[in-house]
Amino acid sequence: MSAPHSDRIDAIAVGDVIVRVRDWAPLVHCITNTVAQNFTANVLTALGAVPSMTIHADEVAALVESADAVLVNLGTLDPERRAGIEVAVAAARDHGKPWVLDPVKVNRVATRRAFALRLLKSQPAIVRGNTAEMAALFPHLGSDGTVVAVTGARDSLSDGHRTVLVDNGHPLLARMIATGCALSALIATCRAVEPDSLLAATAATVAWGVAAERAAEGEPGPGTFAVRLIDEIGAIDPETIERHASLSRG
C-alpha cells in the first residue's frame, strides 16, 4: 500500500498542519537525548502537543500504544535507553504508530551506526539528521518510502519521488544545544496529524525555521534566543507562516 501524498506542499498546507496540531493536541512519546528533554517538552507543549518522555522498557510499550507518534533519538544511547528504544520501535510497528528516527552522531560511533541501521529495518516514517549523520546511513535510506530530512543551512526533504527545499532558519540554531532534537520531535508531532510524511516533515521544518528567524530579531544571545524560540513556536500561526515561509520543490 503506497503512502498518502498530498495534492500540495506549500505554505498554506504547512499552516494547515500546524492548526491541526493545535486542534488535536497529539500525544508524542519521545525517547531523546538527556540534554534535550526539558527543551523538547517545552517546545512541544508550546505548539499544542502533549509530550511524554518515559524511557523505561517496562512502561514504554503502553505509552507508545496510547501515543499518536513516537520519536527515537539516539543522542544518549545508554543501556536503559537502548532497551527502551527497542521496545518502543516494536510497539510502534505492532500498533501502527508513525515513528521518527534522529540518528545522532552515527557518523562518529560504529556501534551506534549499526544500531541505527538495524532500526531502519522497522521502517520509520521519517529520518532526520544533519549532512554527516545522513551520509553515514547512505545508501540505506529512502528505498522504502521513508522520508529523508537532511537539515542544515538549507534543509532538503525527500520521499524518493518528491523533494522540498526549505531556506528558513537562523545561524543561532547552531549555537544552542537541542534545537535539532526539538525539530525531530516537532516532525513526529506533525506526522501525528498528517499522514503524508513529506508534508509533515516540511511543516515542522518550516514552522521551526520561521520561529527561529523571528526569535533572532534584535540579535539576542543564545540564552535569550532559546526562550524566544519557545515563545515564537507557541505563537506561530498560518498567517505568519504564509508571510515568511521560504520553500521550493527540488
How far from each other are the two terminal CA atoms of the chain, in whole angstroms? Answer: 25
What gap in Å lies between CA 103 and CA 113, rounded to an integer?
8
Q: Give the model's pLDDT for residue 250.
A: 80
| pTM of the predicted protein model | 0.97
Question: Along the 250 residues of the chain, how does pLDDT read in single tens digits?
Answer: 457 888 799 999 999 999 999 999 999 999 999 999 999 999 999 999 999 999 999 999 999 999 999 999 999 999 999 999 999 999 999 999 999 999 999 999 999 999 999 999 999 999 999 999 999 999 888 777 899 999 999 999 999 999 999 999 999 999 999 999 999 999 999 999 999 999 999 999 999 999 999 999 999 999 999 999 999 999 999 999 999 999 999 8
Q: Where are the domains of the chain?
A: 23-249
Residue 100's DSSP bridge partners are 71, 126
Q: Dump pLDDT digits (tens) for 79-99.
A: 999 999 999 999 999 999 999
Q: Dump pLDDT digits (tens) for 206-226.
A: 999 999 999 999 999 999 999
**120 Cβ neighbours under 8 A, 6+ residues apart:** 101, 127, 137, 140, 141, 146
| R_g (Cα) of the chain, nearest Å | 16
Query: Which burial class, exposed, middle or buried, applies to 236 when counting CB atoms under 10 A from its CB (0-12, 13-18, 19+)?
Result: buried
Query: Which burial class, exposed, middle or buried, applies to 208 when counting CB atoms under 10 A from its CB (0-12, 13-18, 19+)?
Result: buried
What gap in Å lies between CA 172 and CA 220, rounded to an integer?
9
3-class DSSP state of 101: strand
Classified by CATH at the fold level, domain 23-249 comes out as UDP-N-acetylmuramoyl-L-alanine:D-glutamate ligase (3.40.1190)
What does 122-139 look like in DSSP terms, one character per residue? Answer: T--SEEEE-HHHHHHHTT
What gap in Å lies between CA 24 and CA 26, rounded to an integer?
6
Q: For residue 81, give the C-alpha cell.
A: 535507553
